[in-house]
């Protein structure tokens, strides 16, 4: 993509973040412009990076719902950022992350270190994890 076209697209997503959905070849710069304008634009980002997710979450914490938590680096980023927030959705997000990374030692250690187990709904996880929850 040439620079002129990229700059034009950046201006378009600054006006309307949903325009990002129409862009086939999204660059990180275009995506950053969109999520900085509205964090919910993360929904339209085809290749989420830590940088894009962090910018979206900083703009609007609720954009965390659109983060690709199946990607380990993004799940860890969300944990590091989200642990500081206290909202009613914490239980759902933290349970979803565990559902995807239930055997990941680094993520499990993070939950233990930051005392996040109290936010986990063990009933929604596998039998092995429910037993783990009972032991905590």
Instruction: Find the Cα–Cα–Cα–Cα dihedral 62, 66, 72, 76, rounded to 10°.
Output: -10
| 44 close to 22: Cβ distance less than 8 angstroms | no
Distances (CA, A) of 25 to 15, 28, 32, 107, 114: 19, 10, 14, 32, 39
Task: Give the pLDDT of residue 24.
Answer: 94
**Of residues 76, 70, 45, the one with CA closest to residue 59:** 45
Tell me the pLDDT of the chain (136 aa) as tens digits: 899 999 999 999 999 999 999 999 999 999 999 999 999 999 999 999 999 999 998 898 888 889 888 888 888 888 887 777 666 777 888 888 888 887 788 888 888 888 888 888 877 776 666 555 545 5
Of the candidates 92, 41, 85, which has an alpha carbon nearest to the alpha carbon of residue 67? 41
Nearest of 86, 40, 17 to residue 30 by alpha carbon: 17
pTM given for the model: 0.76
Tell me if residue 117 falls in helix, strand or coil.
helix
pLDDT of residue 133: 55
């Amino acid at each position: 993509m040439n620079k002129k076209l990229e700059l034009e697209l950046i201006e378009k997503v600054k006006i309307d973040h949903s325009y990002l959905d129409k862009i086939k070849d999204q660059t990180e710069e275009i995506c950053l412009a969109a999520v900085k304008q509205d964090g919910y634009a993360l929904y339209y980002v085809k290749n989420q990076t830590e940088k894009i997710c962090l910018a979206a979450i900083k703009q609007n914490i609720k954009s965390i719902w659109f983060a690709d938590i199946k990607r380990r680096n993004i799940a860890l980023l969300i944990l590091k950022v989200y642990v500081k927030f206290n909202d009613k959705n914490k239980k759902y997000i933290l349970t979803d992350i565990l559902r995807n990374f239930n055997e990941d030692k680094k993520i499990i250690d993070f939950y233990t270190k930051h005392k996040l187990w109290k936010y986990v709904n063990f009933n929604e996880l596998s039998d092995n994890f429910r037993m783990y929850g009972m032991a905590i």
